[in-house]
Amino acid sequence: MDTDDRLLTVREVAQTMRVSNMTVYRLIKSGDLQAIRVGRNFRIRESDVDRYFEAGTVATLAPALLGEPLPGMQDR
């Protein structure tokens, strides 16, 4: 872990992503977002949030930028 890497709460991540706390918990449970368990709570490295955004941005936008239909949108 980078010494400058902040540990964020689920609430802080949810506010950053503009989603509910439950969505963040689902991302953690599915393995899409890395988290550290501290007692009964989770902490998420700021770099892991950045990595999630970067992975999601590339996976979601790349087909659209290439003029290809997005997954699940082929029949529309």
Q: Is the four-CA dihedral 7, 8, 13, 16 of positive or negative sign?
A: negative
Architecture of domain 7-65: Orthogonal Bundle (1.10)
pLDDT in tens, 1-53: 556 789 999 999 999 999 999 999 999 999 999 999 999 999 999 999 999 98
* Residue 4, pLDDT score: 74
Q: Is the four-CA dihedral 54, 18, 26, 4 of positive or negative sign?
A: positive
pTM of the model: 0.69
Domain positions in the chain are 7-65
